[in-house]
Amino acid sequence: MTGPETVVEVDGTVVAVPEGASLLAAVRAAGIELPSLCSDDRLSPAGSCRTCLVRADGRVAAACVTPAAPGARVETATDDLRRLRRDAVEVIVSALPSRALTTGNRSELARVCRSLDIGQEAARGAGGRGGDDSHPYVHLDRDLCIACGRCVRMCAEVQGTFALTLVGRGADTQVAPGTGGPWAESDCVACGGCVDTCPTGAIAEPGPGRGLTSAHRPSATRTTCGYCGVGCALDVVTRDGEVTAVLPARDGPVNQGHACVKGRFAHGYLTSPERLTRPLLRRDGRLEPASWDQAIGEVARGLRAAVAAGGPDAVAAISSARATNEENYLVQKFMRVVVGTNNVDNCSRLCHSPSAAGLTASFGLSGGTDTFDDVERSDCLLVVGANPVEAHPVVGARLLRRVLHGAGLVVADPRAVGLALHADVHLRPRPGTNVALFHGLAHVLLAEDLIDEEFLRERATGLTELAALLDDYPPDRVADITGVPATDLVAAARLYGRARRPAILYGLGVTEHLHGTDGVRSLANLAILRGAVGTDRGHGVMPLRGQNNVQGASDMGALPDVLPGYGRVTDPAVRSRAEAVWGVPVPERPGLRIPGMFAAARAGELRALWVIGEDVCATDPDANQVTRALDTCPLVICDELFLSETARHADIVLPAASWLEKDGTFVNFDRRFQRVRPAVPPPGGTRADFAIVHAVASAMGTALGCATPAEALAECGRVAPVFAGLTHGRLDREGAVPWPCPDPGRPGEAKLYEERFATADGRAHLAAPPYLPPGEQPDDDYPLLLVTGRRWAHYNSGSMTRRGGNLTLDPVDFLDLHPGDALRYAVDDGVPVTVESRHGRARLIARISEQTAPGQVFCAIHFPGSGVNRLTSHHADTVTSCPEYKVTAVRVSGQPRRGTTATGQWE
Ligand code: FES
């Protein structure tokens, strides 16, 4: 325990609890369980059920709402207290129908009744209030509601959605969606918080997971979520080799007992009949089933032939931000050791490669500077180009919680994303103008002396150059470039500049631009100017990672220019350290990036491409050109769960295991290594990528060593000293450990740069890139700007979330457009529209919304069938080749309703 304590005596036992803790916490610290039907540690106390009565210094009190006073003497076990608590529970139970206490009922209430010897006959309610089973994941049985309000508080205080309320009066009080209609049409985002806290089963997950909660679960497998990069710890309950329920871990270091609709519920894809369970080989133009021996043999033969024909650099691999660290380590080792090329990349190229380049240049390391826990200590959050409420819901909820507790909030995003509704200032820059916006904020910080001069003098470089550049970015000029009113810009800069401990969080709205790396660097400037990085005067700069292991895939060296731990392949000392471990020379020349791989394939220079767990035909920009590259490349190998668009264009398809079936580790967005454990066995016929890579290496005559994922991580630590302190055993003991972690006996560094920055001179580097316009601008032919992104119920290409209840929650691929634009282009709400860019065409359903700014349209990336990535351009960050997904000039035209299916999708 850290911080001040309060010491009390509970039934003769002396216990210490944190200052301000309740008597209920003290009683529990003494190892005594009390009924507490309206209480949940994650929530503010309500004190409404009176089931937790104790006597404190002679007075009977509800333990959950009574603070533990120093020296208090607490009694829990006297006959009168037992009787009072039992009476309170009996009163509650008497209003419920008998099914509330059926034998084997797993609810908290049923367990409390069993402990108090209250039988089913005590439940004498008539029932008849009915239920609501409109939602795929959350069912309501009104008869079982005891109006404890836990679900309402969970939705408001933890999730920040405020979708639920209590309605009715007296004994008729019950929970209901705040919108009044069916649950499925409410504001519920299916985080599962209400299901998890409900003590009676009134709100429950349908199916075999019914009644399971994180507080009272049967034995489960602890793993790390394989959806976004938040890194939620999950407990997976299984029966007969199938997942029964996925519960948020109360002690999860990031999620703290919370989850979202994806991690919590979207596991139906595991048993989808569309799951690939046999390798496929292309014969006579068709993909046909084959044995693993045949498939691995063909892969080995094909790769050998490609090397023989074009040399090692005629082979390339796209590793996977969905795969484990150990798999990524093995893939890059395979390419460098077995094939002899640095042609390996991963999808961070398409999302956060500008973060890696920008943060490394500014601070020295490729990763967020602080831990997300610092959000709880921050008094001002600057959230830029991110929609965490939808894309990283658990982070979004924690941010919102902090704001509701008083932190200032500046949101910079062209769209009115969820957090913007709670912002003190919402800046809505035109897409592609970030660098000017950040320079405008920096201009105000300098002009109003909101900078940390001592920090700049002692720990930073580049102020003179930046100050000279910022002369050209006064608020009025920035307003002209960005469309952000100068008064808003000044207000935002003052909020950030005057905060005691500000923090910056950002997403792909900063990186996926023609000048994405400049964006990252000019955003990092703000933290440096303010002395808010590497000090206790702020919480730095944190990129919100999109995929579960996009940080780890890069950390492991699945990149063409760096080895594990980010040592450059061009550095002889870095190569020789790897060569000492691997026993072979490491190629010196940096390899191809993903766009370069496709270009080389189209040019006939790439003879084999291995795509691991990425649907590049769906997710990469200018998708028509990607497809052409795959069709041109003589050998395309694809590891996949389903027959994705990329798999359809492959010559060899290898059925892979998913994250719930694997052993290894992921690294989340704030650099924490966490264990991934197989909760269920992979379906017969599938293999983990780890085993596939080993098998191919073996077939090519090379033993890669590190036979297990644990051995692979240990070996990685010998190649990259920053990971040397990390092992599976340590993670099993400690849960989460951040890197850098060079020493097994010391904690990893959650907060970076407290002594010095990791740059060559130990200083933070201010950058002075001028604002340059994006690759595309609206014109008469293409008058609107398209921004792509994510929606709350789906994930990436949707291959997992479209196979289950999430599709019911969000079945339609919408194009959001402003009412004014809808009027201007004669588009009605709900009608199909054609969207055209200079690169391709897509068809979506129009949704008129003021969330999108005038002159802009927005669509998600989750429905590849709509062809969204046929619209996006070839423009890419000039430093890292990260595509400019966030700025594409388009035009829209309405279409007649006929030709659509019942869900509005085009036939
Ligand atoms: Fe204390 Fe309900 S748990 S009053």
Tell which atom from ligand 1 comes closest to the C-alpha of 47: 4
Chain Cα centroid distance, residue 255: 11
3-state helix, strand, coil in the chain (%, to 5): 35, 20, 45
For residue 357, the CA-to-ligand 1 centroid distance in Å is 52
For residue 254, the CA-to-ligand 1 centroid distance in Å is 27
Burial level of 254, CB count in 10 A (0-12/13-18/19+)? buried
For residue 49, the CA-to-ligand 1 centroid distance in Å is 5
Tell which atom from ligand 1 comes closest to the C-alpha of 48: 4
Tell which atom from ligand 1 comes closest to the C-alpha of 52: 1
| pLDDT per residue as tens digits for the range 352-369 | 889 999 999 999 998 899
| pLDDT per residue as tens digits for the range 646-693 | 999 999 999 999 999 999 999 999 999 999 999 999 999 999 999 999
Tell which atom from ligand 1 comes closest to the C-alpha of 64: 1
CATH class of 784-894: mainly beta
Alpha-carbon distance 597 to 603, whole Å? 10
Burial level of 893, CB count in 10 A (0-12/13-18/19+)? exposed
For residue 255, the CA-to-ligand 1 centroid distance in Å is 25
Task: Give the chain's mean pLDDT.
Answer: 93
For residue 51, the CA-to-ligand 1 centroid distance in Å is 5
pLDDT tops 50 at residue 101:
yes
For residue 435, the CA-to-ligand 1 centroid distance in Å is 52
| pLDDT score recorded for residue 376 | 84
Residues lining ligand 1, Cβ inside 6 A = 36-39, 47-52, 62, 64
What is the CATH T-level fold of the domain 294-351+549-677+684-738, as seen in this structure?
Answer: Rossmann fold (3.40.50)
Alpha-carbon distance 694 to 717, whole Å? 19
Tell which atom from ligand 1 comes closest to the C-alpha of 39: 3
| pLDDT per residue as tens digits for the range 72-95 | 999 999 999 999 999 999 999 999
| pLDDT score recorded for residue 56 | 96
Report the relative pairing of strands 380-384 and 502-506 from DSSP bridges.
Answer: parallel
Ligand 1 test: best mutation among 23, 41, 52, 81, most atoms within 8 Å of CB? 52
Q: What secondary structure letter does DSSP report for 429?
A: P
For residue 97, the CA-to-ligand 1 centroid distance in Å is 22
pLDDT tops 60 at residue 896:
no
Ligand 1, atom 3, residue with closest C-alpha: 36
pLDDT tops 80 at residue 902:
no
The contacts of residue 773 (CB under 8 Å, 6+ apart) are 432
User: Is the distance from CB of 645 to CB of 618 less than 8 angstroms?
Assistant: yes
Nearest residue to 398 (alpha-carbon basis) of 658, 599, 157: 157
Rg (CA), the chain: 28
Alpha-carbon distance 194 to 139, whole Å? 10
User: Is the distance from CB of 784 to CB of 891 less than 8 angstroms?
Assistant: yes
378-532 CATH pick, 3.30.470.30, 3.40.50.720, 1.20.1050.10, 3.40.228.10: 3.40.228.10
For residue 65, the CA-to-ligand 1 centroid distance in Å is 7
Report the relative pairing of strands 652-655 and 635-640 from DSSP bridges.
Answer: parallel
For residue 50, the CA-to-ligand 1 centroid distance in Å is 5
Ligand 1 test: best mutation among 34, 41, 50, most atoms within 8 Å of CB? 50
Angle, vertex CA 587, rays to CA 584 and CA 588, nearest 5: 130
Ligand 1 test: best mutation among 27, 42, 64, most atoms within 8 Å of CB? 64
| pLDDT score recorded for residue 905 | 39
Ligand 1, atom 4, residue with closest C-alpha: 47
Say which range, 36-45, 590-599, 789-798, has the weakest mean pLDDT: 789-798
State the angle between helix axes of 434-447 and 516-529 in degrees (0 to 180), rounded to the nearest 10: 20
For residue 245, the CA-to-ligand 1 centroid distance in Å is 28
Nearest residue to 788 (alpha-carbon basis) of 868, 874, 875: 868
CATH topology match: 5-94 vs 123-265:
no
For residue 405, the CA-to-ligand 1 centroid distance in Å is 23
pLDDT tops 50 at residue 749:
yes
Architecture of domain 123-265: 2-Layer Sandwich (3.30)
pLDDT tops 60 at residue 128:
yes
Alpha-carbon distance 579 to 569, whole Å? 11
What is the token pair recorded at 259? Answer: 């989850």
For residue 45, the CA-to-ligand 1 centroid distance in Å is 7
Say which range, 195-199, 596-600, 796-800, 839-843, has the weakest mean pLDDT: 796-800
Segment 378-405 shows an average pLDDT of: 93
| pLDDT per residue as tens digits for the range 194-248 | 999 999 999 999 988 888 888 876 689 999 999 999 999 999 999 999 999 999 9
Alpha-carbon distance 651 to 607, whole Å? 12
The contacts of residue 416 (CB under 8 Å, 6+ apart) are 426, 428, 850, 851, 852
Alpha-carbon distance 36 to 89, whole Å? 10
| pLDDT per residue as tens digits for the range 521-567 | 999 999 999 999 999 999 999 999 878 899 999 999 999 999 999 99
Alpha-carbon distance 279 to 272, whole Å? 17
pLDDT tops 90 at residue 758:
yes
| pLDDT score recorded for residue 207 | 85
pLDDT tops 90 at residue 476:
yes
| pLDDT score recorded for residue 512 | 87
Alpha-carbon distance 400 to 671, whole Å? 22
For residue 232, the CA-to-ligand 1 centroid distance in Å is 29
- Omega before 740 within 30 of 0, i.e. cis: yes
For residue 55, the CA-to-ligand 1 centroid distance in Å is 14
The contacts of residue 880 (CB under 8 Å, 6+ apart) are 349, 353, 354, 356, 357, 516, 517, 593
| pLDDT score recorded for residue 899 | 43
Confidence band for 907, pLDDT divided at 50, 70 and 90: very low
For residue 39, the CA-to-ligand 1 centroid distance in Å is 6
pLDDT tops 70 at residue 403:
yes
The contacts of residue 851 (CB under 8 Å, 6+ apart) are 415, 416, 417, 816, 858
If you write DSSP's letter for every residue of 756-814 in order, what string do you get? Answer: --SSTTSSEE---PPP---S----SSS-EEEEEE--TT--TT-TTTTSSHHHHHS---E
| pLDDT per residue as tens digits for the range 809-864 | 888 889 999 999 999 999 999 999 999 999 999 999 999 999 999 999 998 877 87
The predicted model scores a pTM of: 0.92
List the chain domain ranges: 5-94, 123-265, 294-351+549-677+684-738, 378-532, 784-894
Alpha-carbon distance 636 to 655, whole Å? 14
| pLDDT score recorded for residue 217 | 66
Q: Give, in order, the Cα–Cα distances in Å from 422 to each of 429, 458, 756.
A: 18, 37, 36
For residue 38, the CA-to-ligand 1 centroid distance in Å is 5
What is the token pair recorded at 516? Answer: 């994405």
User: Does the domain spanning 5-94 belong to CATH 3.10.20.740?
Assistant: yes
